[in-house]
Amino acid sequence: MAKNTGNNHRKGAVTGRSQVRTPSGWTKRDTGSGRFMDGKANGKPFKGVRREA
């Protein structure tokens, strides 16, 4: 997993996760099982999580 630095950025990429844009915002997904995990309501993407096409 990526490490939080406390300076509004991460050190390294978040592994085992991806994110996809949905009508309600960005949703985080586990790449191993394909299950949706978490969503963001403010419209901004997750930091350090790769995006799906």
With cut-offs at 50, 70 and 90, classify the pLDDT of residue 35. Answer: very high
pLDDT tens per residue, range 12-32? 788 999 999 999 999 999 999
The whole model's pTM is what?
0.71
pLDDT for 2: 66
CA distance 45 to 48: 9
Mean predicted confidence (pLDDT) in 46-53 = 89
Distance set, CA 11 to CA 16, 33, 38, 40 (Å) = 16, 25, 21, 21
Mean predicted confidence (pLDDT) in 39-47 = 91
